Amino acid sequence: MHVDDSLLAHVEDTRRFNEQYMAAMAASPLGFATAEDALRTRAVLDAAVAPLAPERLQPQVLHVGAATPAVEVRVFVPERPQGVCVEFHAGAWIIGSAKAGDDRSAEIAERCSVTVVSVEYRMVPEALPPAQLEDALNVIEWVRTDGRAVVGDGPIVLIGESAGSTLAVLTLLSLREQGTLGSDIVGAALAYGLYDVSGGPSQRLDAGALAVFNDAQLLVYPGLTIEQRRVPSISPLYADLSSLPPALFSVGTADALIDDTLFMYERWSAAGNSAQLDVYPESMHGFDMFPTTMAAEARRRIDAFITARLGAAPQPPARAEANV
């Protein structure tokens, strides 16, 4: 495998953080074994979310969308926005929140001169799929119509982390099938997504991660067999991926979901779409949210992709690039 030499300078810092992080995780009682465990885990994590510093760009908290129920969004509007980023947070559709990502949302808005619409989609176990996709589509429609008075004009980029990437891809596929994908959606920045809910090779090789993954998926898709989880509406790796916008795929080599990203990048490219792949040495799931120099570099590259897509001319012929 080709190694991007510029990333090697960040490996020692990443190793030190990984050791501390894994020790903390080993001592943690949190998990998804039951719905009650999942709700308790969510509550603990939500209680740990620090408020956004007052000097940062602050969000407008709105409830939007023509469909019922309305969806809560956190909207960060910088001066003279050049477009809109619709952001879907990580957390297996069970934990996490848009609010927990306020610092990163503000950073994207400020760095990229883009309005960020961070989506508080409904969560499992209170709302099973397709509630999450319905919320995503409701927000996209609002951004394109009534929301323009709030978010401004300009092209749209979708952003996702982990299960948020799954949601972003399912949203693109649904819009394409409805005939409403449109040229205004110019890109997708997808970090360590889950694209094969039946469990790919790297998932199955990581026993610890697989146990947590299986617990989560039993809550999200109760009663479904492994084979039933491979339908494209659940596992987008198995979908027809033609006619989708350019995408940046980001993942770490120590991530149990690395194969999901590697396989999706190849299939995205093979379907004729423009794609870029950044693989980060010794980096774990969620690494770009960690306080490391590797994370800072990943965020810089993601922001550069967003800025480039917002300023892109009509799309050139599809190409595939990989930085590992």
Q: Residue 203 is part of a domain; what is its CATH number?
A: 3.40.50.1820
In a domain, 190, yes or no: yes
Report yes or no: 73 and 84 within 8 Å, Cβ to Cβ: no
In a domain, 246, yes or no: yes
pLDDT at 120: 98
Phi, psi torsion values for 33, nearest 5 degrees: -60, -35
> Structure tokens of 33?
């074994």
Average pLDDT in the 262-272 region?
Answer: 98
pLDDT at 1: 46
In a domain, 45, yes or no: yes
Average pLDDT in the 19-48 region?
Answer: 91
In a domain, 54, yes or no: no
In a domain, 9, yes or no: yes
Report yes or no: 63 and 72 within 8 Å, Cβ to Cβ: yes
Instruction: Render pLDDT for 272-323 as a digit per residue (tens, 0 to 9).
Output: 999 999 999 999 999 999 999 999 999 999 999 999 999 973 443 445 567 7
* Residue 88 three-state SS: strand
pLDDT at 28: 82
DSSP state of 229: G
Q: Which domain holds residue 234?
A: 5-49+59-323
Count of structural domains, the chain: 1
pLDDT at 316: 38
Average pLDDT in the 49-54 region?
Answer: 95
Q: Pick from 82, 85, 87: which is nearest to 191 by CA? A: 87
Unique residue bearing structure tokens 């719905």: 35
The helix/strand count (H/E) of the chain reads as: 11, 9
Confidence of residue 2 (pLDDT cuts 50, 70, 90): low
Unique residue bearing structure tokens 């960060």: 76
Contacts of 220 (CB under 8 A, 6+ apart): 92, 93, 94, 124, 128, 129
Unique residue bearing structure tokens 């997504």: 193
Instruction: Render pLDDT for 126-164 as a digit per residue (tens, 0 to 9).
Output: 999 999 999 999 999 999 999 999 999 999 999 999 999
pLDDT at 171: 98
* Residue 309 three-state SS: helix
pLDDT at 321: 64
In a domain, 122, yes or no: yes
The strand ranges marked E within 162-258 are 185-191, 247-252
pLDDT at 312: 73
What is the percent of the chain with per-residue pLDDT over 90, rounded to a whole number? Answer: 87
Predicted confidence (pLDDT) at residue 234 exceeds the cutoff of 50: yes
Report yes or no: 56 and 106 within 8 Å, Cβ to Cβ: yes
* Residue 156 three-state SS: strand
Average pLDDT in the 32-49 region?
Answer: 95
